[in-house]
Amino acid sequence: MSTSPSTSAPQPHSPGLGSLTSAQGLAQGLAQAPLRVGVLALQGDFQAHAAMLESCGAQVLEVRDWHSLGELDGLLIPGGESTTMSRLCDRYELWQPLQRAVGDGLPLFGTCAGMILMARGIAGGTRNFEQKSLFALDIDVARNAYGRQLDSFEADLEMPALPAAGLGSQPLRALFIRAPRLERVGPEVQVLAAHRGEPVAVRAGARFAAAFHPELAGDDRLHRLWLAAIAERKALGQPKAPGEPLGKAPLGKAPAQPAAARERA
Ligand code: GLN
């Protein structure tokens, strides 16, 4: 598994990334046609994400029911508590529509608990509760693997994709709060940042996931990079991103879990 951030920002399926991911290109693009992005607003830190995305120029919708899922250019799933969030998705009859949207290729950004909900394999489940996943990204994660709330920490992360997109070369400040560990990163998934040799932020096309809370340190560059990826995908006529076929698992049927994740769960 590659644990160092890749320096080759543009991916083979992403011609033209350079112009659209530049901060200036994104600002111009958003001024012409703002992206309409949803923030799953059932639990967790959705307000800070919504404010940050709005300040980046996106139109933001707080998503609490399946009606709001239509016409979205992307959906951010915030940090919080992944089992609670998936239970609430069930209660609000959102889980199956979300699975469908994932199968249709909806761009996603999952942070912390949101990353857990996007993963393919999840270790560290809650007793008497089967941890649910949207199978939106080819990664395996382990919940709470960095320790308890008291073991939360901050770190400055090198993220070569930011300067490559004209978003500045200073490291990204990241807050890890009962964070999940990325235990496997699939071959189509690009590592954006690592901490102590372990991947902590990844992307596949316009699907991003981070083990930390990027919305809490006042640095919106990862949000901008995600918006630029969505804008680019739109401009290219919404091609499927690598990893998206995972979302096409028939409803209610998960792809076979990797053996390692099964054993740990
Ligand atoms: N520990 C939480 C979970 O397992 C995630 C923590 C967070 O989102 N800050 O869902």
Domain ranges of the chain: 25-242
Ligand 1 centroid from CA 155, angstroms: 17
Whether CATH 3.40.50.880 fits 25-242: yes
Q: What gap in Å lies between CA 233 and CA 66, rounded to an integer?
A: 23
Question: 155 φ, ψ to 5°?
Answer: -150, 155
Q: What angle, rounded to 10 degrees, do the helices at 221-235 and 46-55 form? A: 70
Q: 49 CB contacts (<8 Å, ≥6 apart)?
A: 39, 76, 78, 111, 215, 223
178 lines ligand 1 (CB under 6 A): yes
Among protein residues, the one whose CA lies closest to atom 5 of ligand 1:
113
How much is the pLDDT for 27?
Answer: 66
Ligand 1 centroid from CA 180, angstroms: 7
Q: What gap in Å lies between CA 170 and CA 210, rounded to an integer?
A: 18
Going residue by residue through the chain, which has 265 residues, state the pLDDT in tens, using 9 for 90 and above: 444 454 433 333 333 333 445 666 676 666 667 899 999 999 999 999 999 999 999 999 999 999 888 889 999 999 999 999 999 999 999 999 999 999 999 999 999 999 999 999 988 766 556 678 999 999 999 998 887 777 789 999 999 999 999 999 999 999 999 999 999 999 999 999 999 999 999 999 999 999 999 999 999 999 999 999 999 998 887 655 444 444 444 333 444 444 444 333 3
How many angstroms separate the Cα of 189 from the Cα of each of 5, 69, 154, 184, 201? 11, 25, 24, 10, 10
Per-residue burial over 67-99, b = 16 or more CB atoms within 10 Å of its CB, e = otherwise: ebbeebbbbbbbbbbbbebbbbbeeeebbebbb
Enter the pTM of the model: 0.82
Measured from the Cα of 45, ligand 1's closest atom is 8
Q: Which of 88, 112, 148 to mutate to test the pocket of ligand 1 (most atoms within 8 A of CB)?
A: 112
CB 234 within 8 A of CB 73: yes
Q: What gap in Å lies between CA 117 and CA 110, rounded to an integer?
A: 8
Whose tokens are 């009606």? That residue is 67
How much is the pLDDT for 149?
Answer: 72
